[in-house]
A and B are shown apart, each in its own frame.
Chain A
């Protein structure tokens, strides 16, 4: 299967700070998504971004498919941004089979 590596594994920020989370993947992909998992376990889709750049409020994401990585930017962080951020990819030749990274655990302190 496709290997997905996320960094850093843990991140502590002061409220108002900016951060960049990285996702590297080992093969060409058809689909890449970023998710946020809240402390109760619910996963919320943030971006569907197999290539290019998207922005949604304080969050933005960029995927460079040719270099096999994606970045998630969080600006002006808030305590509600705390949780675990996951990157998930689907290979070009195996539809609907998704591979998740181990996540980045973010703790935003007031």
Chain B
């Protein structure tokens, strides 16, 4: 089946630990995105990538890092520098870089810091 997969579905982390969230797509899409959603809020853009080996910061990139070594993969690392990481994290992709396209979302990862 074509689509976007995220793993794990639930993730628990102790304070001070880095964790990496996985995002994979088999849609052959060029652009990929990471968003954060807090309870009762909309989505906020963390990072986006328009092409392999290139990515741009969104509005809330501090405390996060990404890589785009393969077209189909865009992992997000939540570092210990992120002061309030408990949230719902959503990955998305769209066919082409440069706008005018629909975004498709994965099922999300719920991260809880203990």
Q: Which of A6-48 contact B (CB under 8 A)?
A: 30-31, 33, 35, 40-45, 48
Contact A31 B99 (CB under 8 A): yes
- Least CB distance from B12 to A in Å reads 17
| CB of B45, distance to nearest CB on chain A (Å) | 6
A88→B45 CA distance, assembly (Å): 11
Are A95 and B99 in touch, CB under 8 angstroms? yes
Interface residues contributed by chain A, number (CB under 8 Å)? 26
CB neighbors of A among B59-114 (8 A): 59, 88, 90, 92, 94, 97-105, 107-108, 110
Could you tell me if B42 and A86 are in contact, using CB atoms closer than 8 angstroms?
yes
For the complex, give the distance between the alpha carbons of A69 and B82 in Å.
35
Is A97 interfacial (CB 8 A cutoff)?
A: yes
Q: From A99, which residue of chain B is reached at the shortest CB distance?
A: B45
Instruction: Say yes or no: is B23 at the interface (Cβ < 8 Å to chain A).
Output: no
Would you give the shortest CB distance from A47 to chain B, in whole angstroms?
Answer: 9
Complex contacts, B59 vs chain A, CB 8 Å: 1
CB-CB under 8 A from B101, the residues of chain A are: 31, 48
Q: Which residues of the partner chain A approach B99 to less than 8 Å between Cβ atoms?
A: 30-31, 90, 95-96
User: Is A98 positioned at the interface, with any CB of B under 8 Å from its CB?
Assistant: yes
Q: How far does the alpha carbon of A31 sit from the alpha carbon of B102 in the complex, in Å?
A: 9
Question: Cβ of A43: which chain B residues have Cβ within 8 Å of it?
Answer: 90, 92, 105
Asked if B21 is at the interface (CB within 8 A of a chain A CB), the reply is no
User: Would you call A30 and B58 a contact (CB within 8 A)?
Assistant: no
Given A33-B103, A42-B108, A48-B101, output 4 extra A-B contacts at Cβ < 8 Å: A31-B101, A88-B43, A100-B42, A100-B44
Q: A residues near B, CB below 8 A? A: 1, 4, 30-31, 33, 35, 40-45, 48, 50, 86, 88, 90, 95-103
Which 6 pairs, one residue from A and one from B, show the smallest C-beta to C-beta distance?
A100-B42, A43-B105, A95-B99, A100-B43, A30-B99, A48-B102
